Amino acid sequence: MSDATGPNQENGEGLVAHLIDHFKKEWQLYVMLLPTIAWLVVFLYKPMYGLQIAFKDYSIFRGISGSPWVGFEHFETLFQSEQFIRALKNTVIISFYTLIFGFPVPIFLALMFNEVLNRWFKKTSQTIVYLPHFISSVIIAGIVMTAFSPSAGIINTFLGWFGVEPIYFLTKPEWFRPIFIGTGIWQEAGFQSIVYLAAIAGVSPTLYESAVVDGASRWQMMWKITLPSILPTIIIMLIIRIGNILEVSFEMIILLYQPATYETADVVNTFIYRQGIQGGQYDLAAAAGLFNAVVAFVLVISANTISKRFSRTSLW
């Protein structure tokens, strides 16, 4: 028996010694990694202890451990609630339209920036489209409300030139989704294009040189070389976006929506905010948040599996 376990023990001791030597050589890198690990533990893993609130009749006076278990009662309440079903429906619709109309925009921007030859114009235009990302959501919401104001907004002023009566856009449920989605594209598309510009920068110049020799035009090089070369990056970003399909911009909706537009503007995150923070139903809000996370997890796994099977590109 000792002969059988001896080599394994020696291998284990050798591995430990190797890890210790490696840590001694690279200890500076691990020290730099400590803040990130601490952040993950404190803000991502430690709060998971509170997920059990979703299965308890939670009371702030009894605490998490003292509150009685109720099983899936809160989830049953959620799916019997018309407000939650409406919020879930709105979340899916807004996310779907954002994915359809918003996801291709950064790709097109990156392709267009790559084709610009004048360096001054290229840098200036990139700065202009990147800028909205760095502006506070409160300011962006203020700009939107001012632009769509029925009295002095630029949109209604323009429509007035053609004899159209002022429209109270932000109080009309049918207008909320187009305004919200358009605002999100304007705010984030430029910054998101940086990922695709980085992918384009990694394309081998020899491919373009060969295409020039063969007489290819700029348009043909873009469709036959650039776009296929960054396709793996596009797929990875699409998988990430699918995983976040239930994560609609909470701050912007809170700033723009109002009771008159709840019909089309209320989403899962705002439902959680109203029930948990304003209504004090922390257990019900936790159940909604857990449902949101489980759906996102399933979507990421499914999208990654499908991508790996058909394109051989995946997150893992």
Which DSSP string do the residues of 256-302 spell out, in sequence order?
H--GGGHHHH--HHHHHIIIIIIS--HHHHHHHHHHHHHHHHHHHHH
Nearest to 265, CA basis, from 249, 277, 276: 249
User: How far is Cα 147 from Cα 221, in angstroms, rounded to an integer?
Assistant: 40
Nearest to 264, CA basis, from 105, 100, 94: 94
Would you state the pLDDT for residue 176? 93
Provide mean pLDDT across the span 269-280.
Answer: 85
Would you state the pLDDT for residue 145? 92
Tell me which amino acid residue 308 is: K
Would you state the pLDDT for residue 139? 93
Query: 72 and 55 in contact (C-beta within 8 Å)?
Result: yes
Paired strand residues for 69: 56
Instruction: Give the tens place of pLDDT for each residue, 121-163.
Output: 989 999 999 999 999 999 999 999 999 988 888 898 888 888 8
Would you state the pLDDT for residue 11? 65
Residues 6+ apart with CB under 8 A from 153: 146, 147
pTM for this prediction = 0.82
More confident residue, 275 or 28: 28
Q: What is the DSSP string of 55-109?
A: GB---TTTHHHHSPB-TTHHHHHHHH-HHHHHHHHHHHHHHHHIIIIISHHHHHH
What is the CATH code of the structural domain delimited by 77-311? Answer: 1.10.3720.10
Say how many CA atoms lie within 13 Å of 227 toward its Cβ. Answer: 14
Provide mean pLDDT across the span 183-199.
Answer: 93
* pLDDT over 90 (residue 13): no
Pick the range with the lowest mean pLDDT from 12-16, 57-61, 144-148.
Answer: 12-16
User: How far is Cα 313 from Cα 248, in angstroms, rounded to an integer?
Assistant: 26
Q: What is the DSSP string of 216-268?
A: --HHHHIIIIIHHHTHHHHHHHHHHHHHTTT---HHHHHHH--GGGHHHH--H
Task: Give the angle 231-237-242 at the CA atoms, nearest 5°.
Answer: 125
What are the residue ranges spanned by the domains of the chain?
77-311
What's the length of the chain?
316
